[in-house]
Structure 1
Amino acid sequence: MRKTFMLIVVALSLFSLEAKGQQVAVKTNALYWLTTTPNLGVEVALGDKSTLSLNANYNPWTIGSDNQIKHWLVQPEYRYWLCGKFTRSFFGAHLLYGRYNVGGFKLPFNVFPAFATHHYKGWAAGVGVSYGYQWYLGPHWNLEAMIGVGYVRTEYRRTDSRTYVQRNYFGPTEVGISFVYLFRSKK
């Protein structure tokens, strides 16, 4: 999977070097950092009102002796901008795929109470739609807020069991407040 991810990043980078008037953005989601999840996104302008984004998250941490939130996730997304690329409102369509090994901790508001006593290991794949908005902060900086909803199929097992469970999920698939750095080419 690492080779596939690297191939996608290289392909996006090569594409961005060939187009005239091209814009490329690098971004990071502050909400993921709050969960100790390093993340990075690359977004490439395809036209005056469309972009292609690839986000990657990776969390290798074990907190304490048994608390794990280990996971990785890749999420490509096509975005259509209502005003112009990297400006104001956009609608998007995204895919996601990731693997996880989480458990041993209690989540706020008693969400998924079994996480406190069990660990879950598996994969998730899905598709969704999103809406977002970018605010201009300076010549190279934007602030982005976005939310996405969709469908996710997951297969996992509790680490104390050999039985795999498959689940379907409908609901939020992405949420973010991201800092965006724009590389603008000379026209």
Structure 2
Amino acid sequence: MRMKKLLFVVVVIISSVGAKAQMLALNTDVMLDAFQTPNLGVEIVTGERSTLGLNVFGNHNPWGVDMRITGVQPEYRYFISGRPMHKLFVGLGAIGADYDISWKGKKYDGMLFGGGLTFGYVLNLSQRFNIDFHAGFGLLFYKHSEYYKNDSYKEDFYVGGVPETNADGYMLMPTRIGVSVSYILK
């Protein structure tokens, strides 16, 4: 339910900003696609040297691994080259995700949010196609229920029908690493 509300807000924001945009591009991160995590991004020119982008992603049991992730990543980019969607850029982004992962005999069920910096380079292939190389790092805050697979989650981690978290914290880690292919619509 949370993701449906978030998706609705994202569509409304993109629609209102996109109406005044000079240039609009759709993209997909081929590295996320390679990890069986479908994703879609929109990038809108907001100034002579800047863009505003939003990427949504999610997966469910990629390669048979017991995992589910859904998330969103808004990002502001400043292009050092002096032209948006062209050459070097630095970005300021955020991330929010909901996850349920089984890893090495443990289950992690929770959410994370955070922000960080992204650096990259956009290679223009033609008037309509770009390849975007990017890497970013940042601070992520998480809150989840962490338990062994054999634990009785329903009995041990629910209080009054509400799931209790037993792990929270933060970590400095990559927030965005990839190669995106973009198609410029207008």
Q: CA deviation at 1:14?
A: 2.7
Q: Who is 1:178 aligned against?
A: 180
Q: CA deviation at 1:40?
A: 0.4
Q: CA deviation at 1:93?
A: 0.4
1:37-52 to structure 2, matched below 5 A, reads 37-52=37-52
Q: Who is 1:53 aligned against?
A: 53
Q: CA deviation at 1:13?
A: 2.4
Q: Which of the residues 117, 128, 138 maps onto 1:129?
A: 117
SS in structure 2 at match of 1:7: helix
Q: Distance in 1 between matches of 2:28 and 2:171?
A: 26
Q: Who is 2:80 aligned against?
A: 82
Q: Distance in 2 between matches of 1:159 and 1:30?
A: 33
Q: Distance in 2 between matches of 1:72 and 1:41?
A: 14
SS in structure 2 at match of 1:58: strand
2:34 matched to 1:34? yes
Q: Distance in 2 between matches of 1:9 and 1:81?
A: 25
Q: Who is 2:91 aligned against?
A: 92
Whether the aligned pair in 1 keeps the contact of 2:36 and 2:62 (CA below 8 Å) is no
Instruction: Give the aligned residue type for 1:94.
Output: G
Moved more, 131-140 or 7-16: 7-16
Instruction: Give the aligned residue type for 2:77.
Output: R
Q: Distance in 2 between matches of 1:24 and 1:48?
A: 14
Q: Who is 2:160 aligned against?
A: none
Q: Distance in 2 between matches of 1:167 and 1:14?
A: 35
TM (norm. structure 1) is: 0.84
Q: Who is 1:156 aligned against?
A: 144
SS in structure 1 at match of 2:19: helix
Q: Distance in 1 between matches of 2:100 and 2:6?
A: 21
Q: CA deviation at 1:159?
A: 4.1
Q: CA deviation at 1:148?
A: 0.6
Instruction: Give the aligned residue type for 1:88.
Output: K
Gapped runs of 5+ residues in structure 1?
104-114
TM (norm. structure 2) is: 0.85
Q: Distance in 2 between matches of 1:15 and 1:141?
A: 22
Q: Distance in 2 between matches of 1:183 and 1:62?
A: 30
Q: Distance in 2 between matches of 1:173 and 1:7?
A: 22
Whether the aligned pair in 1 keeps the contact of 2:37 and 2:62 (CA below 8 Å) is no
CA RMSD of aligned residues (A): 1.6
Q: Who is 2:16 aligned against?
A: 14
Q: Distance in 2 between matches of 1:122 and 1:7?
A: 21
Q: Distance in 1 between matches of 2:19 and 2:170?
A: 40
Gapped runs of 5+ residues in structure 2?
152-156, 158-164
Count of aligned positions: 169
